[in-house]
Amino acid sequence: MLKCQSPWLLVLVTHALSLPDIVLFVADDVDAESFYRTSPQIQELANSGIKFERALSPSPLCTPARYSLLTGAYAARAAPDNGASVRHVFFNTRIAGGPTIATELKRAGYKTIFAGKWHTGCTAPGKTDWGPKETWENAVRERHEQDRATIARVGGFDHVRSVYGGNVDSAQLLPKEWSVHNPEYQMREATHVISRVKAKNASAPFFLYFA
């Protein structure tokens, strides 16, 4: 049995070979029942795993809820946003380092994978004047790589793929042509990493945070 040092998270393991793979889905603006019933694949995963049927979100807002889920801490404990104290919890809760669910699972022997929406602090400032198409395409690629590096560093993930930094319908985040959620792309990238992890070590457990 292993007890991690962080007081907010207890990881119990019996043996490295018996560690289960973990897939954590985070969905916006949908209740759990609808999310579960409308996807046969999700239903199959749930029926073959563990279901938490009495879990409550620590916040009705996206960013602070994600902050608490990832760190195990109240959102009011987040790092200051733009130098101002977080006194009014809103979309200002940024992860700036410290223990996360990914760092603690890594200590327990997991390979940690992130795919999808982060929305708890990004690297590049907002931009509205994108210029010619080839200019903003390069800018979006550059921002994606910056966000991947940031999430790996402050989130504690081994592999970071197919990132949405924030809400994709924001004019300050992406050009209109890129403002679309693409779960097929996200899942393709995530399964590619899982296949690589398992190819290197079939018994290695993985943790996938898919948002």
Helix boundaries (H) for 28-182: 32-37, 40-48, 62-71, 101-107, 133-155
Give Cβ neighbours of residue 136 (< 8 Å, ≥ 6 apart). 130, 175
Rounded-to-integer distance, Cα 26 and Cα 119, Å:
12
Give Cβ neighbours of residue 5 (< 8 Å, ≥ 6 apart). none
Q: Are 168 and 180 in contact (CB under 8 A)?
A: yes
Helix-strand-coil split of the chain, %, nearest 5: 40, 10, 50
- Report, as residue numbers or ranges, the catalytic residues: 62, 119
